[in-house]
Amino acid sequence: MKKLENKVAVITGGTSGMALATAKLFVEEGAYVFITGRDKARLDKAVKGIGKDVTGVLGDAANLDDLDRLYETVRKEKGKIDILFASAGRGELAAIGEVTEEHFDKIVGLNVRGTLFTVQKALPLFNDGGSIILNGSIASIKGLPGFGVYSASKAAVRSFARTWTMDLKSRKIRVNVLSPGTIDTPALEPLGKEAIDQFVSLIPRGTIGRPEEIATAALFLASSDSSFVTGVELFVDGGTAQI
C-alpha cells in the first residue's frame, strides 16, 4: 500500500525546488496535493509537471486573504487536510549594518507571520492525527554572516514546532520542522557561484543536496512511519550543522 493513500496534503510555495519535489513524491505515494505559488506561469507549469491529483492555487503565503482563498478551495474540493507542509519562505543576505525595515518585514512577514497563519487557518479542516511539517533551515542553529534576520526567522519556526506540539496534542496532530542544508535549487542562484561553492565545501558528505532528498524526508514526517516523532527538528544537510 502507498504511504499516503487517500490523504490530502497542502504544500505552500510548491512551484519549484524542494517543495515541488515533495509534491510529486506525495502524489506518487497516493496523496491528493494542493500547491500554492505567487506566479501563475510557474504554478501552471508545476501542476502540469506533477500531472495528476493536484490543484494549484495562486497566492502568497504572507497574505491572509490568499490563505483564506486557499483553504476555501481545499474545503470545497476535498473537505479535509491530513498533511500540511508550510514550505513557503525566503532568504536574503544583509549584514547587521545593512538591514532595512523592508528587508526585515519581507523575511519575517513570510517566514514567521506567514508560517503562523498558514498553520492556524488550516486547523479547522485538519483531521485529528495529521502531520504538520514546517520549513526550517540549518541557519536556525548556525551563525552565518549576512543571514541574521533569516536565521532568526527560522529559529522562530523551530520554536513554533515546540509550542504547537503541545497546543495540538489533544488532537494528536504532530508538528515537526524539516531543516535543509545546502540544496541544489533555483533559490541558491542569487547567492552567486563563489558563495555556493563555499557552502558546498562545508558539507561533510562532500556533495550538494538534491530536492528529492528533502522530499523523502518530508514523506517520512508526513506518513505513519514517523508516528512517534513530534516536536523535532530534522536536519537534512549532509552533516553540515552536525559536525
Residue at grid coordinates 504554478: 43
> Helix, strand, coil shares of the chain as percentages rounded to 5?
50, 20, 30
Cα separation of 158 and 161, whole Å? 5
Within 10 Å of residue 41's Cβ, how many Cβ atoms? 9
Q: What's phi and psi for 234, nearest 5 deg? A: -95, 110
Q: Which of 150, 160, 164, 235 is catalytic?
A: 150
Reported in sequence order, the residue ranges of the chain that DSSP labels E, i.e. its strands, are: 8-11, 32-37, 54-58, 81-86, 126-135, 174-180, 233-236
User: Which amino acid is residue 152, in one-letter code?
Assistant: A
150 classed as catalytic: yes
62-81: buried (b, 16+ CB within 10 Å) or exposed (e) per residue? bbeebbeebbebbeeebeeb
Identify any residues that bridge with 81 across adjacent strands, giving them in sequence order.
Answer: 126
* Catalytic sites, residue numbers: 150
